Chain A
């Protein structure tokens, strides 16, 4: 009998509960950049001098790089240091969360560094100020001259923890550096960190270089160079500086690009006014024909799983983007919009294809889903081309030519980056004019 009563009572409670809970769907939020405070790293007093580095300023310099990286994403809003409420060393031990919340920060980065025995030891912590807890903490040891890279790696770790996707700060961009008037342009291969620092020139500028592309798995680059007016495809190892010719191909070769595993290159050969797509195995050097069509097929790009290739072709009249299996079967046209489409590049995330579109005398950089739906044009200008993805598939870098003088004489070519949302268009600082950028994968991977 008691049991029975108990069950009845329980039932009543259940009824009450099922009625009490209010559910509200939150389907939108604000897109304001996340306010984040990057406290200068505390420099341990036991630190020893290293070469001619200014150790006292090192903590602040690292914090500055992290801040700059974050600001460039457009997703974070680093707060001004003048407003900071705690000294770096105390904040690193335990921040006074209420005080940091007062300056509207939602996340806080603290850290400290020590140089001893010619080793740089850096640790950092990321704090969730609303929840008053530590989100992540890591320590690195390296040679002190690597401090810029450590700043980038820290930025990557924080970015990953706060957004859920990999960062792209510890990366490099290779591009063609250009100097001189248009008919006598000197083109060199150049490489820099993604933030524009550490520019190095890899070729002397005697030969014309074109379309450098990073291997997605390591620091190898493939590019085209005209040697004695013969276009050839080269491989260059950036770490060692060794360079080799992949092969002398009959006719013209265009736009070599690596497969996702880095073991093949895909490119197009032009012969007798017809151009088709071929792959070459870098180990066996076996060349395989992928398309065989009387039209001009160029700009091939592998999908990140290696199963598909996107390319552009004029087989339907105007140049459009097509997708096929990597063995050349199942060719499917994916763009049907007005205008001419070119340079498809598959996102490393696999969900989008970036492209250049020409319409009514204007050039657009855009993205679309891999089946051609959801086309979004991110940016418009008189001349811009060659999109390349950041390794996390979040940002696109491309180059844009603009009239240089106030009267429209001359022109400059510069690298620009844009977020796939279409926001945050920025010019990347380069020492010279620049074109044909290609973004590397993460160096620390």
Chain B
């Protein structure tokens, strides 16, 4: 009797352990992976095309015209081009090329996808802070190129949060809203580790029930006055932004939310 009980207990506990260890991984993959790709594509094209619609339309029309011309040439006696593309069904590669062309004409050097995204949510007040350095420097443009590289990093870092309960657009909406409310204290040193993590408990309408700074002890540590200033500015931003733009459904997923305020990239210049 006791032996069987022991067996039962050990096997059960093994099973529980296995579930604890494997459950999160099992959950994440099938649910979250497929939408990632599609959502991202839709996001960027949708938003980028809005403010530049007239221009984009022109470019697309031009593109179409060109293609029509190409079709004509296809009817002509077999040429090297025709062999390369025997049918006019656009191949995935071709599609990509088209997109690239469109982007080029929209002058992507100056307008980055991230800014376009945010521009939908708050059309006025988003300044391209990543480019301050480039703006300041009136003679050189190298900085701007460096900044672009940095931009790529931020985009990849945002991918970490895909495994959360918000879709990319919902997350973007929230992020853009807080960008607008957060007056970054510009006196902060750029070479210090300044990351403020704020945990929020939200009500269903997006108002804040409770806000908590996760590294609270740093607030009153001597020599950490920059941290304190940053934390206070972050708290102000969150309070000013109330009610936050949260999705109408899935309250359980976003009732607790953590915001990581990190101005280093902006201040580095």
Contacts and interface: CB of A to CB of B under 8 A. Distances in A.
Interface string B163-191: 01110000100110011111111111101
Max chain A C-beta neighbours (<10 A), residue from B138, B154, B256, B262? B138
Given A15-B24, A31-B186, A162-B229, A26 B261 contact: yes
Contacts of B13: 4
A272 interface: no
Interface string B21-56: 001100100000000000000000000000000000
B126 A30 contact: yes
B130 interface: yes
A164 interface: yes
A423 B129 CA distance: 13
Given A27-B154, A30-B180, A130 B132 contact: no
Contacts of B175: 24-26
A128 interface: yes
Please indicate which of the listed interface residues B130, B132, B139, B259 has the most CB atoms of chain A within 10 Å of its own CB. Answer: B139
Interface centre among A34, A351, A380 (most CB of B within 10 A): A34
Interface in A107-133: 128, 130-131
B232 A128 contact: yes
B140 A375 contact: yes
B125 interface: yes
A377 B256 contact: no
Given A20-B256, A164-B228, A26 B182 contact: yes
Contact of A164 (B23, B174, B187, B199): B187
A106 B183 contact: yes
A135 B235 CA distance: 13
A164 B230 contact: yes
Interface stretch (B57-65, B75-83, B95-103, B236-244): B236-244
B136 A23 contact: no
Given A130-B236, A164-B230, A30 B179 contact: yes
Contacts of A15: 20, 23-24
A164 B235 CA distance: 16
Interface in A136-192: 160-165
B240 A130 contact: yes
A32 interface: yes
A421 B186 contact: yes
Given A4-B9, A164-B188, A377-B139, A27 B263 contact: yes
Nearest to A22: B164
A164 B232 CA distance: 11
Contacts of A349: 189
Interface residues of B, number: 74
A333 interface: no
A430 to B, nearest CB: 26
Contacts of B165: 20, 22
A302 interface: no
Contact of B257 (A22, A359, A375, A423): A22
Given A162-B229, A364-B139, A20 B260 contact: no
Q: Which of A28, A359, A422 has the most CB of B within 10 A?
A: A28
Given A24-B174, A162-B185, A31 B132 contact: yes
Contacts of B234: 26
Contact of A128 (B183, B186, B236): B236
A416 to B, nearest CB: 15
Dominant secondary structure at the B interface: helix
Interface string B184-206: 11111101000000010000000
Nearest to B9: A4
A31 B184 contact: yes
B134 to A, nearest CB: 9
A252 interface: no
Given A11-B20, A24-B161, A130-B240, A29 B140 contact: no
Contacts of B88: none
B219 interface: no
Nearest to A16: B252
Contacts of B225: 160, 164
A75 interface: yes
A155 B264 CA distance: 26
Nearest to A14: B20
Interface string A373-415: 0111111100000000000101000000000000000000000
Contacts of A377: 136-140
A253 B171 CA distance: 63
A161 B187 CA distance: 11
Nearest to B23: A15
Q: Which one of A22, A364, A394 has the greatest number of beta carbons of chain B within 10 Å?
A: A22
Given A22-B254, A164-B188, A377-B140, A30 B183 contact: yes
B260 A378 contact: no
A81 interface: no
Contacts of B253: 20, 22
A364 B138 CA distance: 9
B104 to A, nearest CB: 26
A52 to B, nearest CB: 39
A164 B185 contact: yes
Contacts of A392: 187
B161 A23 contact: yes
B14 to A, nearest CB: 12
A106 B164 CA distance: 32
Nearest to B165: A22
A2 interface: no
B136 A378 contact: yes
A46 interface: no
Contacts of B226: 164-165
Given A25-B161, A131-B235, A164-B187, A32 B125 contact: yes
23 contacts: A15-B24, A20-B255, A22-B171, A23-B161, A23-B164, A23-B258, A24-B171, A26-B179, A27-B265, A28-B129, A29-B129, A30-B125, A31-B186, A32-B127, A106-B183, A164-B225, A165-B188, A375-B137, A376-B136, A377-B137, A377-B139, A421-B136, A422-B137
